Amino acid sequence: MSEDHRQHRKTLYWLVSSLCVIAVAITFAKVKYLDFSLSDKASFYYQADASISFDTEKDQNAHITLSLPERSPLYYFGSDPSGSKLFKVFRTDDGLARAEAEIKPEKNRQTVSYRFKIIPRAYEEVLNLPAPSENEHSAPLSDEAKALVASILEKADPESKLSPQELVSAVLIEVGSLSPADKKVLSQKSGSDAAIDAAITVLGDRGISARVVRGIYLNDKSRNQQAAQFLDAYCNGSWKMFKPSTGAIDNPKDFLVLQRTGKSLFEISGASNSSIRFSVTKVPAGAASLNRIRADVIGEQRLSEFSVFSLPASEQNMLKRLALLPLAILFIVITRNIVGIQTMGTFMPVLIAMAFLEMSLVPGLICFSIILAAGLSIRAWLSKLNLLMVPRISAVVVVVILLMQLISILGNIFDLPDFMSVTFFPLIIIAWTIERASTTWEEDGARNTINQLAASLATAVVSYLVLSNSYLQYFLYTFSELNLAILGVILLLGTYTGYRLTELFRFKSLADK
């Protein structure tokens, strides 16, 4: 028999420890890989608008595609559905995400915008960008271009002993000082695009793969900024970003890459005079709503199952309450089995505390006392009528309903919104509390009844104080898997055979001997 019990206990310990391990592991994963915040401090996210302006051509739809960021070691991002209605996201043949829109022609100049939400990551990720593919051949150069490339390389690296990295820097400086006419020889592009394009051509001659990187700086309230450009060159087995104007290696902070492997930042057909500008704003947000946005954004990357945040808002409110209940129930287990306080009905205090949460404490206590006092006097009167039990309790339930309606209406008349939410009281529980209080009163006297009611109410108030803690609310909702650990603790307390706190007082006389 005792062997059996030892076996059961072993099973229980295994169960409890695996529950705790699972809970902690999921929490850890959420914090580490999904960046869920452990603190409920309010934070922020960036909202960026890419605005494309253009003149449409007559009787022709304009077709726009925009390069979307692939992955960032620093940020989570996603399109904001409320601000990007015109666009839909698709993937190109080489697997890159782009947004596209079809715009009807109009007389005036048009502007359409695509909106991102961007959340800084707590943990920087290491990005392993793939090495350049071997079979990338640039178009053959003209003789004039060949001579120019040779002269640039001669100037940049006269003794042919620079490392690839130093060579990239030197070439960028040389290309920067070329005359516009020379640039035209190496590149068909204009403006700042031409310099980088020319540098790519020159570096290609030396067998160094290079490409252009475009992105935006995430500064609060930067309006109408142009996309910033960098040269990305593959040196010594990794991609490095170089600032075109100085030729220095740069790893810009607060920079979101929009185009790296893609051919263009945006493309437009059926329109002319197009330009793209970016506006960035910092939006303050609570930790919970950030988690929600993050889940939305990650959801686009098919990880949304990880979280309750992807549910609709109304269901979330329900779940917020549910996520807290296990803690309150653990509290009841502790008051009963560790402290040893007898309450009227095991879970009654918790349910009352949940109602207090909806109403706030003082109005809740007042309403509860009114309903209880009125219910008890009506119950005392009912007991004189000698009714059978079920009809009698049902009568009490109906009376409690009427009282709640009355309080709610009075709350409305006297403009006390807290009293209007009196309907959150669990009325069946209250009716049973009244029934139990009244039979206890008859059998064990007023003193015992008042003691028990006071103990229940005190437990309810303490549960309320625990449950109304906003950090706990945030924490248990965000990491609802921790309730598995709470379940484990409750199971473990089921085998607690030590003394209850009240017994240390009750049996005091026995220890004195």
Partner 1 sequence: MRLPLKLPKFVSPEKLFESGVLGMNRRNHSYIMRYNDRRNYPDVDDKLRTKKLAMKYGVATAELVGSIDCQFQVKSFPKMIKDVPDFVIKPGHGSGGRGILVIKSHDGRNFYKPNGAVCGYNFIYDHISNILSGLYSLGGRPDYALFERCIDFSDVYSRFSYQGVPDVRLIVFKGYPVMSMIRLATKLSDGRANLHQGAVGVGISIRDGRPLFAAQHNCEVTHHPDTGAAFSELVIPHWEEHLELAAKCAEMTPLGYFGADISTDSKRGPLLLELNARPGLAIQIANGCGLLKRLQLVESLPENLHKTPEERIAFSRENFD
Contacting positions for partner 1 (CB under 8 A): 1, 5, 337, 340, 386, 388-390, 439, 443-445, 448, 495-501, 503-513
Q: Which two tokens stand for residue 482?
A: 């921790």
Closest distance of CB 325 from partner 1, Å = 24
Query: Is 373 or 504 the residue whose CB approaches partner 1 more closely?
Result: 504
CA 43 to chain centroid, in Å, comes to: 11
Q: Provide the minimum distance between the beta carbon of 337 and partner 1 in the complex, in angstroms, as a whole number.
A: 6
Query: Are the beta carbons of 393 and 379 closer than 8 angstroms?
Result: no
* HEC secondary structure over 60-122: CCEEEEEECCCCCCCEEEEECCCCCCCCEEEECCCCCEEEEEEECCCCCCEEEEEEEEEEECC
Best CA proximity match to 416, nearest among 408, 424, 428: 408
Nearer to partner 1, 107 or 384 (CB): 384
- C-beta separation of 337 from 500 below 8 A: yes
Could you tell me the smallest distance in angstroms from the CB atom of residue 89 to partner 1?
Answer: 60
Q: How far is the CB of 496 from partner 1 (least distance, A)?
A: 6
Q: Report, in Å, the least distance between residue 497 CB and partner 1.
A: 4
CB of 436 to partner 1, least distance (A): 10
Residue 21 to residues 26, 308, 394, Cα–Cα distance (Å): 9, 20, 46
- Which residue's CB is nearer to partner 1, number 170 or number 393? 393
Nearer to partner 1 by Cβ, of 297 and 393: the residue is 393
Which residue's CB is nearer to partner 1, number 284 or number 494?
Answer: 494
Alpha-carbon distance 77 to 254, whole Å? 13
Alpha helices in 229-340, H assignment, sequence order: 287-300, 313-333
Nearest distance in Å: CB 499, partner 1: 4
- Three-class SS state of 208: coil
- Burial per residue of 66-78, b for 16 or more beta-carbon CB atoms within 10 angstroms, e otherwise: bbbbbebebbbbb
In this structure, the number of other CB atoms found within 10 A of the CB of residue 327 comes to 20
Q: Which H or E run includes 414?
A: none
Nearest distance, CB of residue 512 and partner 1, angstroms: 8
Which tokens hold the place of 274?
A: 């197009």
CB of 506 to partner 1, least distance (A): 6
Nearest approach, Cβ of 379 to partner 1 (angstroms)?
13
Structure tokens belonging to residue 126: 């290491």
Indicate the residue among 104 and 447 with the shorter CB distance to partner 1. Answer: 447
Sign of CA dihedral 433, 434, 435, 438: positive
Q: Which CB, 321 or 500, lies closer to partner 1?
A: 500
Of 333, 224, 261, which is closest to residue 92 (Cα–Cα)?
261
Quick one: 197 exposed, middle or buried, by C-beta within 10 A (0-12, 13-18, 19+)? buried
Of 226 and 346, nearer to partner 1 (C-beta) is 346
Residue 346 near residue 336, CB atoms below 8 Å = yes
Which CB atom, from 338 or from 401, has the smaller least distance to partner 1?
A: 338
For residues 347 and 424, which CB has a smaller minimum distance to partner 1 in the complex?
Answer: 347
